[in-house]
Copies of this chain bind each other. A is one copy, B any other.
Amino acid sequence: MSQQFEHVALIGLGLIASSISHAMRRADMNTRITGYARSSTTRGKARKLGLCDKVYDSLADTVRGADLVVLAVPVGAMGAIAKEIAPFLKEGAVVTDVGSVKRAVIDAVGPSLPKSVHFVPGHPIAGTERSGPDAGFASLFDNRWCLLTPEAGTDKKAITKLRKFWEALGANVDEMEPDHHDLVLMVTSHAPHLIAYTMVGVADDLKRVTDTEVINYSAAGFRDFTRIAASDPTMWRDVFLNNKEASLEILGRFTEELFALQRAIRIGDGDFLFDYFTRTRAVRRSIIEAGQDTDEANFGRGATDTDK
């Protein structure tokens, strides 16, 4: 196996795949990029942006000859694609994905792939609330973590080669057991998204509070929820449908904690509230020290940044 991929096929040309393309170009990889998207609009945009050397209308043409195939479609679509590309995969190719859940992807994709390829599931912990081929940018993965969740017995050279690929895109790489991945990400990503969606839904529903009020007075905290709740609906539908067990566990814990705080409000237990609110402050500090967020107040949004 050579040291570097010579031909990368990107299946799905949204935020993640387009960022991979930009980051590959930034890294001066001398690699052929082929791409596929289901929608002709997306393919058209990708061609216009020059994201790939060649954008195909056919999955078979896209993966033919590729030594790395990246599945960058919503989690629920991966199984069908794996089945469709299987006959056309090059012997010895590495197949990976960028899905936000890993167990369901392994179950859906793994059985369809021929034994002659190496399947190394992955998940770059990076993104924005934008989607589509024009949402990508080269620095998306810089200093972010990419988790690989290969099953025991996977070819070590394939794993190492994929690791080096992600490192060249700017990411830090780690390996994790898939079920543990799904629990951790439920906590750091999936549950926060569901909760943000819920809170924005409540605001949108409350007839006694007008839309204008919700919008004008959003700077007090709510606007941060709306950013998260602006993320791609298809992607998130699939995440929750495919990470059911961890969803139900973490939402159960969340509701339990919320009820404890609600009870403290009802009975006027100020000490309980104060202690709870003090403890959570420390977590923020650790995230900033780990270089995973900016230290600037309000994420560095100036009061006037919206006047541009």
- A residues bordering B, Cβ < 8 Å? 76, 100, 125-130, 135, 139-145, 147, 170, 174, 180, 183-185, 187-206, 208-209, 211, 213-231, 233-234, 236-238, 240-241, 244, 247-248, 250-251, 253-255, 257-259, 261-262, 264-266, 268, 270, 273-274, 276-281, 283-288, 290-295, 297-307
- Are the CB atoms of B125 and A219 closer together than 8 Å? yes
Q: Are B290 and A216 in contact (CB under 8 A)?
A: yes
Among B126, B225, B250, B305, contact of A294 (Cβ-Cβ < 8 Å): B305
A129 surroundings in chain B (CB, below 8 A): 284, 297-298
How far, in angstroms, from A148 to B184 measured CA to CA in the complex? 44
Can you offer 27 A-B residue contacts whose CB atoms are under 8 A? Answer: A125-B216, A126-B219, A143-B304, A143-B307, A170-B303, A189-B217, A189-B220, A192-B199, A192-B225, A198-B254, A202-B254, A206-B253, A215-B283, A215-B292, A226-B287, A227-B299, A229-B280, A233-B278, A233-B281, A234-B274, A240-B261, A240-B265, A251-B262, A255-B258, A292-B306, A293-B306, A295-B306
Pairs of residues from A and B, 10 with the lowest C-beta to C-beta distance, nearest first: A189-B220, A233-B277, A128-B297, A230-B284, A142-B303, A200-B280, A192-B221, A188-B222, A229-B280, A226-B284
Known contacts A144-B219, A195-B258, A230-B284; 5 additional CB pairs below 8 A are: A147-B217, A191-B199, A204-B279, A233-B281, A240-B265
CA distance in complex: A128, B223 (Å): 13
Report chain B residues within 8 Å CB of A238.
Answer: 270
Q: In whole angstroms, what is the CA distance A292 to B253 when docked? A: 33
Query: Which residues on B sit within 8 Å (CB–CB) of A303?
Result: 126, 139-144, 170
Q: In the complex, what residues of B have CB within 8 A of residue A244's CB?
A: 265-266, 268
Bound CA–CA A261/B130 (angstroms) = 23
Bound complex: CA A290 to CA B189 (Å): 28
Chain B positions within 8 Å of A100 at CB level: 220
Q: Which chain B positions have C-beta within 8 A of A201? A: 257, 276, 279-280
Docked Cα-Cα span, A29 to B129, in Å, equals: 42
Q: Are A265 and B247 within 8 A (Cβ)?
A: yes
Q: Which residue in B205, B227, B268, B273 is a CB contact (below 8 Å) of A236? A: B273
Q: Which residues of B contact A301 (CB under 8 A)?
A: 293-294, 299-300
Contact, CB under 8 Å: A287 / B247: no
| Most B Cβ at <10 Å: residue of A187, A190, A259 | A187
Q: Which residue in B221, B247, B307 is a CB contact (below 8 Å) of A188? A: B221
